[in-house]
Amino acid sequence: MTDGPTLLGIRHHGPGSARAVAAALAQLRPDAVLIEGPPEADPLVALAAEKDLVPPVALLAHVVDDPARAAFWPFAVFSPEWVALRYAVEHQVPVRFIDLPAAHTLAEPDRADGPDAPDGPDGPAATGRDRAGETDPIAALAVAAGHDDPERWWEDVVEHRSPGTDALAPFEAVAEAMTALREGTPTGRRDALREAYMRQQLRAARRAGHRRVAVVCGAWHVPALREMPTAAQDKALLAGLPKKVRTELTWVPWTHRRLSQHTGYGAGIDSPGWYHHLFTTERDTVARWLTTVADLLRAEDHPVSSAHVIEAVRLAETLAAMRGRPLAGLTETLDAVRAVMCDGSDVALALVHDRLVVGDALGEVPDSAPAVPLQRDLARLQRSLRLKPDPTERELVLDLRKELDTERSTLLHRLRLLGIGWGTPSRSAVNSTGTFRETWRLVWEPEYAVRVVEAAQWGTTVEGAATGKAVAEAARAGELAELTALVERCLLAGLPAALPAVMRALADRAALDTDVAQLAAALPALVRALRYGDVRGTDGGALAGVARGLAERICVGLPAACTGLDQDGANAMRSHLDAVHTAVALLAAEDTSEDPVADRWASTLHALAAREPAGGPATGAPGLLRGRAVRLLLDDGRLGTEEAGRRLGLVLSPGGTPADAAGWVEGFLAGGGALLLHDTRLLALLDDWLAGVRPGTFTDLLPVLRRTFSALEAGVRRTVGERVAAGPLGSPAGPAAADTTALDGLRADAALPILALLLGLPTAPARIPRQADRRAG
């Protein structure tokens, strides 16, 4: 290997390969280092010398005119390419990337499809081969060595071994093995193009006067780089490359978790945290690893002692010896952790795997790295608002009465509008009906770097880009509900510059839209926007006018829109009915007009409730909607209990159809079944009706009935069952009827001193008169 370039065939992201590369470079002392990677990244090499560039990181390449077409080349501390890059920078040795340019690979639409799409590091089971090929070099070598587990064999042969006295000998052995594997194996088109380009770069290094050239590449490519065809042959082969596209490259932070994923922007490394430990720990690898495991389990309240660690180390080493392995690997250590530290629990072991075997390490990139202005503005806001990107999921609770929390909320909402889902709204563990509290689930994903580049087309700042995108979305919105939702998002994101254009589009669409379902779907978001505007101090005058107009049009058209609906249509309209009812209640709180919208809505519900199907189902509203309207009026106090009971009796009378009656009951009880407990007459009507339904019809109604009663509270279901089982239900409910057990005065008196103590009273309160006393009086 000394006659030409020294070819260091490696396994991407392998700690053993990384140690071997470090030893080989120290022995070889090259005057040039060539690394498999996109040559457009050469200007970024100098940043590797900065202490603020901390792996895991990745080279991001994207097409300037189409940022969504992007690819990454990840680097971890244990990546051989990173070791070679750092060696060259620290020793001031010229270093170049020699793989096919990203400008060519991104020109092929089918190649810009995820991680390493333009053949970055090929993942754990690859040694530089074309992924489209069927040959798995490691699997083939493992089979030849008599092993059925390629990963375990590779760990034993490479990852767990330290370099010997001749640091170049392992690479010579790997080269011979790859040469034997490639004999008779056809070379894929992509591999052929890549290797032709690499050979051109090797020739260029020789022409530049370099004599001790070290080439770090996937081991699969080594045989093709050792046997050099003529330059003319390679030039002819590269003539078939697609036309270049304009690309830009930069460094971006990466994570161990993303490295572990086999799809998306991952690299397919199953255990990056373990590999990091193997590479950075020089001695007592297993003992130190298990000590870290013990620290984690203790932090999660698992009883793990030093004795557990000692016994786990012994067990891991014993298992390795029994299995014929030179050192305990990840399999042995996890088996020991499960048996000794986790008491056989896979739940605790899953925690170890998630936190340590994979890990949440997040890299760092210096401010001097190339970045679009939008990225720089986002980084500035993250610093000023003390919101550090973190790959570990965490909850953030914001109080919008505080200026800092309001600005944080605004930033997160703007990013969501831009398609950067760093924060996701979630339900707080603290129940609150106010609008001043927001709860977010934060987790930073590396691919957001691509989203930021994509969003840069809308503006150079987060606010400007969010405004530009909101205006563009308003122009192409196809439905009214999309526009009202956009208005809400603009208010949440604090985008006053976008509101005029969005409101114009909303007013134009609302004036033309006659579909009641569309209007009903649009109103709730608009009313919520009014409430959020109050919290953030936004002028909601224009919104209030549009919201009132939508509500009035819904009131006019709702009864007719509910006529003749089938079951699916009725279910959908019921959801709209509930949402509009809630929205009108919120809107009515600020309504000071002479014709309150709440009164008009109540009239609409009365009209809907009275829309009986006298001439068949097509002539009236479904029972589901009529019953729901009656319940909403009852809950608002606009309909008395007597009238509600009368309507229930009419619906359940023999003149109605069982299916319509069942739907009416479902709609009526959807708001909760407690009223059946307070008014026994309603329960008696329902019980009598069910008892009189014919067996065949009852079977048909059973799905609706089960759905209706399963939605009731568990306590309500139990009490209803008890009352039905107790006997006749015809007598009205009341205190006297409900009281079937006399109060035990002596037992009640005994509790008074404790009550006085709990209430902080100096003396026991007066004795509560017994029920018998009240009756005697």
**Structure token digits, residue 597:** 């919208």
Beta bridge partners of 195: none
CA distance 519 to 483: 11
Q: Outline where 428-540 has alpha helix (H).
A: 448-455, 462-476, 480-492, 499-512, 516-536
Question: Distance of CA 661 to CAs 609, 675, 697, Å?
Answer: 13, 18, 12
Point out the least confidently predicted range of 390-394, 511-515, 615-619, 758-762: 615-619
Q: How many CB atoms lie within 10 A of CB 427?
A: 8
Q: Does 408 have pLDDT greater than 90?
A: yes
Question: pLDDT confidence of 125, banded at 50, 70, 90?
Answer: very low
Please give the order of strands across the beta sheet that includes 394-399. 394-399, 437-442, 423-425
Q: How far apart are CA 131 and CA 70, in angstroms?
A: 18
637, pLDDT greater than 80:
yes
CA angle 208/209/210 to nearest 5° reads 100
Buried b (16+ CB within 10 A) or exposed e, 395-408: ebebebeeeebbbb
Encoded tokens for 242: 């697609």
For residue 213, what are the CA distances in angstroms to 84, 96, 286? 12, 11, 36
Provide the 8-state DSSP code for 362: B
Under the banding of pLDDT at 50, 70 and 90, the label for residue 776 is very low
The most confident of 25-39, 355-369, 547-561, by mean pLDDT:
25-39
pLDDT in tens, 248-263: 999 999 999 888 876 5
Helices (H), 260-363: 272-280, 285-299, 306-322, 330-336, 346-352
204-218, 500-514, 735-749: least confident range: 735-749
Distance CA 180, CA 101 (A): 29
Give pLDDT, residue 478.
80
pLDDT digits (tens, 9 = 90+) for 61-113: 999 888 888 889 999 999 999 999 999 999 999 999 999 999 999 987 655 44
Distance set, CA 427 to CA 18, 269, 413, 430, 530 (Å): 45, 34, 16, 8, 21
* Residue 748 near residue 768, CB atoms below 8 Å: yes
Q: Are 20 and 163 in contact (CB under 8 A)?
A: yes
Residue bearing the bigger pLDDT, 475 or 141: 475
Mean pLDDT of 292-315: 95
Phi and psi angles of residue 622, each rounded to the nearest 5 degrees, phi first: -60, 150
CA distance 47 to 41: 11
Cα Rg of the chain, angstroms: 36
Residues with Cβ within 8 Å of residue 665, at least 6 apart in sequence: 623, 627, 648, 651, 652, 686, 705, 708
Residue bearing the bigger pLDDT, 494 or 295: 295
Q: Is pLDDT at 616 greater than 70 in this prediction?
A: no
**How far does the chain reach from its first CA to its final CA, in angstroms?**
114
Q: Maximum CA pair distance of the chain?
A: 118
Amino acid at 766: A
The bridge status of strand 213-218 relative to strand 394-399 is unpaired
Task: Produce one character per residue of 172-204: b if its CB has 16 or more CB atoms within 10 Å, e if not.
Answer: eebbebbeebbeeeebbebbbbbbbbbbebbee
Q: Are the CB atoms for 447 and 60 separated by under 8 Å?
A: no
Task: Quote the tokens at residue 164.
Answer: 């010997």
Check pLDDT > 60 for residue 773: no
Across-strand partners of 423? Answer: 442
Helix axes 541-561, 499-512, angle to 10 degrees: 20
What is the band of 737 on the pLDDT scale with cuts at 50, 70, 90? very low
Whether pLDDT at 135 is above 70: no
Provide the edge-to-edge strand list for the sheet that holds 247-253.
Answer: 66-75, 57-63, 247-253
pLDDT, tens only, 316-333: 999 999 988 888 889 999
In the predicted model, what is the mean pLDDT of the chain? 83
**What pTM did the predictor assign?**
0.68
8-state DSSP, 358: I
Q: Is the pLDDT of residue 746 over 90?
A: no
Task: Give the pLDDT mean for 600-610.
Answer: 91
Q: Report how far residue 260's alpha carbon sits from residue 269's, in angstroms, rounded to the nearest whole number.
A: 4
